[in-house]
Structure 1
């Protein structure tokens, strides 16, 4: 494989994160990262894997997603404790959640004012702030 090849670049990305580029990780990484920044659930990824004829169990997908998250390749976003999304955009940003469609959309960083956060308790520091704004369709008048 040559430098500049997307498959080679994925192998390098996995190795740089400390992950061995196994066949399954490469297949999932290709599905995750080849389409740019996006938000997926494990179930979405399993559907894409099946559509691409990649045979991989849901348990393996969850394990891989958590490994990718722990090494900084993905960002995990828990919504209501019942649904977890994995974001390929690992920069600090916030989200709109479209209820009913269960779709996340990035909020531009400049659109959220975080200057008025409460102070952290003594001996603690704020590690990260995640804002999820829920959207619903407005009823027609």
Structure 2
């Protein structure tokens, strides 16, 4: 892994209170090392780490992604209630889910118009609104 990717990963991880372990630094470099936002699954990040010759277990990857989310570095996007994707872009924005490929990408936020939301039940507040637009070939 190149030094630019490691430096970016270290700086990104430094925005949180998480301890910069070797495994966290490695995964952070894979996620943000090229300066681009990523949508990954635990499995795809595990494969990327393996391809780089990094010794990290799938359980560690999953736990690290969850820790990154808890620290506010990423957000988890759930599709179908069972498939989790992890997004390094933490700003509110919609997603496209490409059913044929099983991938998640950003959708153009400026084209989305939510005019009104229902009132939250008594004693509750709306914490977030997730928009996942499912796509399939015609």
TM-score (norm 2): 0.90
- How many pairs were matched up? 134
Provide the rounded CA distance (Å) in 2 between the counterparts of 1:15 and 1:34: 14
2:6/2:29 contact within 8 Å kept: yes
Question: Deviation per CA, 1:57-85, whole angstroms, max 9, x where unpaired?
Answer: 00000110000000011110011122100
Structure showing greater radius of gyration is 1
**Worse-superposed segment, 91-100 or 8-17:** 8-17
SS at match of 2:29: helix
Provide the rounded CA distance (Å) in 1 between the counterparts of 2:136 and 2:12: 38
Determine whether 1:40 maps to 2:52.
no
Superposition deviation, residue 95 in structure 1: 0.6
Superposition deviation, residue 9 in structure 1: 4.5
User: Where in structure 2 are there 5+ consecutive unaligned residues?
Assistant: none
Corresponding position of 2:57: 57
Question: Deviation per CA, 1:68-125, whole angstroms, max 9, x where unpaired?
Answer: 0000111100111221000011110011111020111211222211122111112221
Corresponding position of 1:13: 12
SS at match of 1:86: strand
TM-score (norm 1): 0.88
Superposition deviation, residue 50 in structure 1: 0.7
User: Where in structure 1 are there 5+ consecutive unaligned residues?
Assistant: none
Provide the rounded CA distance (Å) in 1 between the counterparts of 2:31 and 2:137: 29
